[in-house]
Structure 1
Amino acid sequence: MMERRKVDILCVQETRWKGSKARSIEAGFKLFYYGVDSKRNGVGVVLKEEFVRNVLEVKRVSDRVMSLKLEIEGVMLNGDSGYAPQVGCELEEKERFWSELDEVMESIPTGERVMIGADFNGHVGEGNRGDEKVMGKFGVKERNLERQMVVDFAKRMDMAVLNTYFQKREEHTAKKKWDVDRTEENRQEYKELQRRVKREVSKAKQKAYDELYTRLDTREGEKDLYRLARQRDRDGKDVQQVRVIKDRDAHK
């Protein structure tokens, strides 16, 4: 997904990976993570390999908060990953999370850039009356204690809740309703939207195939096929050449 959408840094939550490590993963990315239990919580930051050498510091505060500092072209960037306790958790656990996140933010020198990628397990509510400086109009559902904590944090840190500044796709808003309020009515609504999305995806795939077949019947399509065939042939020769070199080295 990161490769397809050209994302260089991604904060992930509920990784459920125990340990305090960094490891290379597929497609040229590296994961920095921290967790104390393989069954719950865990946070991480995924970074494109070419930027790994720019990492200056990794702070693993808890299995709910960690931070990664990079220097890119003279600019200091802090990527913070957070995983807030769910609605049913004790107030003490929620307050500990916000205290840890405050501590990380206060340790960042003035002038450095900060991006927080977090699952705050809540919605800040529809509309933004009185909170225009920190959020847009496109939140969802009603605001409660957990949601108010997000807004209060944004005000303390002079930040903004970015995903409230654009309209969500319909299927995402159904998904959010089901995550927060798992009633039978919301479940049926979510399932119906899933079926609708699958139908639309199927139609889009069929359209793409039809366009491909149509193109293959043209002169440009034939050129594409020849170009792909030549590329595959070159790739095969490159692999064979590498193997021959290795074999020769082994005999020396």
Structure 2
Amino acid sequence: MTYGSETWSLTVGLIRRLRVTQRAMERAMLGVSLRDRIRNVEIRRRTKVTDIAQRVAKLKWQWARHIVRRKDGRWGPKVLEWQPRTGKRSVGRPPTRWTDDIKRVAGSRWIQAAQNRGTWNSYGVPSSTFQKTYVQQWTSIG
């Protein structure tokens, strides 16, 4: 279910849809129906499956570190620094970009931080408050 999730722009709606799907899969694994009225917490306790929001956020955090460090001329790092042409913008709120939630946690200079292994490791170590904050922002939704 998380195949390719590193490249998704995480939004509240997407996380909600993933969680609904995960709960349906867990109910199917246990052979439990919605009519049985078993709480999600109890189903999660029985299946011992990691929350999909945590998994997707952690994968994206690791992918961001990996993609920025590439030096082989691929398009990944170039796309991160690309600026669109100036001109008329469409009406309404701009769509969520892939980097928006990373910037919210690691700051606007996250690309430079990822270039330096020591700096990014202080962000990305599982015990790091930056990665915990990043993952937590998606865990608290829903």
| TM-score (normalizing by structure 2) | 0.31
Compare relative contact order (CA 8 Å, sep 6+) and give the higher one, 1 or 2: 2
Structure with the bigger percentage of helix: 2
Larger Rg: 1
| TM-score (normalizing by structure 1) | 0.20
Structure with the bigger percentage of strand: 1
